[in-house]
Amino acid sequence: MVYSLCLSCTQREKDMAVAELYEAGTLGVIEEDLPDGRCRLQAFFGEEAPEEAADWVRAAQSQWQPVVIGERWFLSPAWHDGATPPGRLRLVMPPGSASGTGLHPSTQAALEAMERVVRAGDVVLDLGTGSGILAAAARLLDASAAISCDIDEDAARAAREYCGEAAAVFAGSARSLRDGWADVVVANIHAAAIAGLAGEIVRMLKPGGRAILSGFTSQDAEGVARAVQGAGLAIAESISRDEWTALIAGREN
């Protein structure tokens, strides 16, 4: 049996972490650079992994602590068995190597926006789903359906495993989806991708539909706003966390 350990570190810490993982007996390490300048490492160990590997598991778990976000979210590692605070929704951090653990400020801004926008019975599209965390969040907010897509097949596979039956996940682009079917589109991607997809987002929204746009820094927010306004979305609100911003917008007609 082979099991894997995922942890994140800064780029400066990466080489030392990889060296120590090999000293601990890893069979191999996959490195993934993250948009925020950090790195995710996925190390594989065999069934007879030495005690040093268990030390790495404990160290990695200590990095991932529960976080409260906005008014409703309680983001928790899968191994945390403490009680969910009253009035909050427990959202389990996705495992694996796909982007979107929930700890990045852009994802947290998107989650905060979702608690304000998603209503019971909504049909939600998670565009560029990454790990699938925002689709899972939509269902916790009583969306009637969550559909997720990502052009990265590995990300779509990871999202499918994480979401299970909570969301319909496919590898592909939004262009394969019909017009005017979504109550809410959530896109936690980057500024250029949102600008390029602005017309598609408007096309898929029902009249009166809402969009949550995140994944870009505050300095890029004005450019994103101009792009989506030009496509027919009206900006209603912005939410900032650290140097990252999420925009809430509505389809004008």
Averaged pLDDT score across all residues of the chain: 89
| pLDDT at position 96 over 60 | no
Q: Count CB atoms within 10 A of the CB of residue 226.
A: 13
DSSP conformation class of 25: T
DSSP conformation class of 242: T
Alpha helices in the chain (DSSP H): 11-23, 51-63, 105-117, 133-140, 153-163, 191-204, 221-231
Dist CA 211 CA 201 (whole Å):
8
Do the two domains 2-62 and 99-251 of this chain adopt the same fold?
Answer: no
Output the pTM of the full model.
0.80
Question: What is the number of alpha carbons within 13 Å of residue 100 lying toward its C-beta?
Answer: 31
pLDDT digits (tens, 9 = 90+) for 177-222: 999 999 999 999 999 999 999 999 999 999 999 999 999 999 999 9
Q: What angle, rounded to 10 degrees, do the helices at 221-231 and 191-204 form? A: 30
Dist CA 212 CA 194 (whole Å):
11
More confident residue, 23 or 76: 76
Dist CA 58 CA 63 (whole Å):
9
pLDDT digits (tens, 9 = 90+) for 110-119: 999 999 999 9
Distances (CA, A) of 4 to 44, 63, 110, 201: 4, 16, 29, 37
Handedness of CA 95, 40, 133, 75 (dihedral sign): positive
| pLDDT at position 99 over 90 | no
- Residue-range domain boundaries for the chain: 2-62, 99-251
Evaluate whether the domain defined by 2-62 bears CATH number 3.30.70.120.
yes
pLDDT digits (tens, 9 = 90+) for 117-132: 999 999 999 999 999 9
- What integer pLDDT is reported at residue 36 of this predicted model? 62
Average pLDDT estimate for 209-238:
97
Dist CA 122 CA 120 (whole Å):
6
Domain 99-251, architecture per CATH = 3-Layer(aba) Sandwich (3.40)
Reported as a pLDDT band with limits 50, 70 and 90, residue 19 is: confident
Q: What share of the chain is helix, strand, coil (3-state, %, to 5)?
A: 35, 35, 30
Question: What is the number of alpha carbons within 13 Å of residue 222 lying toward its C-beta?
Answer: 1
- What integer pLDDT is reported at residue 3 of this predicted model? 67
| pLDDT at position 50 over 70 | no
Reported as a pLDDT band with limits 50, 70 and 90, residue 9 is: confident
Reported as a pLDDT band with limits 50, 70 and 90, residue 51 is: low
The answer to whether the beta carbons of residues 77 and 110 sit under 8 Å apart is no
